[in-house]
Amino acid sequence: MQSLITTSNHESVRQCLIDQKLQKVYDNILEHGIDYYRYLVFPMNSTGNRKVTKEVTPYYWTLLLYDMEEQIWKHYNSLSRKNCAYLIDATQVKTYVEAHKFDAPIISVKNAPQQMPTSVDCGILVCYIISLLESQQEIPSSIKQHSVEEFRVHLVSKFLNDADRSWKLEDWQTLLLLKQEQEKENAMKKSTDEVKCLGE
């Protein structure tokens, strides 16, 4: 999200993915008041305050949220003890989203659950925190590695068993058969065309 906001050539994508949705949020708050939402949640895939280039691309996930009840922005970074540059990215998103609507301070949550230094679990922990917010559970200050692995399995299971968004095994097998038949037809057609070409 931060790269969409700061990179000028992403304007059309930004309008579609961010601006239109934010406008709906603003309209709902205007109509229903701030009790309509408890949190505004922004998963962020960003660069750690580095300019996006071919060599530097967004790869690390953190979570920024605005707490309507406490009227404060909170930034969760699962490697916060190692790198706080992502708070600058979060502040850029905060400034963009506020648009004079949510003028509130931002804090880096010091006791956010932390990933193992050598792991790539940043996205998993972002999803984990969002799931806790959704079920109105308290966010723990730490998480065991086996709990991260269990939650990863839970996410994969949800993706694979979502009837509306995933394929059943039978559908996948049917698709493979159709693809194999198409490849055979293409090979036969190519062979026939080559024979015709030689005959000419």
Q: Are 186 and 140 in a shared domain?
A: no
Tell me the residue length of the chain: 200
Both 145 and 172 in a single domain?
A: no
Task: For the chain, state the CA radius of gyration.
Answer: 23
State how many domains the chain has: 2
Distance of alpha carbon 109 from alpha carbon 155, whole angstroms: 24
pLDDT at 194: 65
Please tell me the predicted confidence (pLDDT) of residue 65.
Answer: 93
| Model confidence pLDDT, tens digit, residues 6-51 | 666 667 777 777 888 888 888 888 888 777 888 989 998 888 877 7
pLDDT above 80 (res 110): yes
154 and 71 within one domain: yes
Per residue in 131-177, pLDDT (tens digit) is: 999 988 999 888 999 999 999 999 888 887 777 766 677 777 888 88
- Residue 195 pLDDT: 62
Domain that holds residue 144: 2-165
What average pLDDT is seen over the chain? 82
Task: Tell me: do 8 and 67 sit in the same domain.
Answer: yes
Question: Of the candidates 45, 83, 84, which has an alpha carbon nearest to the alpha carbon of residue 62?
Answer: 45
* 154 to 9, 96, 116: CA distances (angstroms): 37, 33, 19
Query: What's the pLDDT at 18?
Result: 80
pTM attached to this predicted model = 0.69
Within this chain, do residues 29 and 47 fall inside the same structural domain, yes or no? yes
Structure tokens at 20: 């239109």
Answer whether residue 129 shows pLDDT above 90: yes
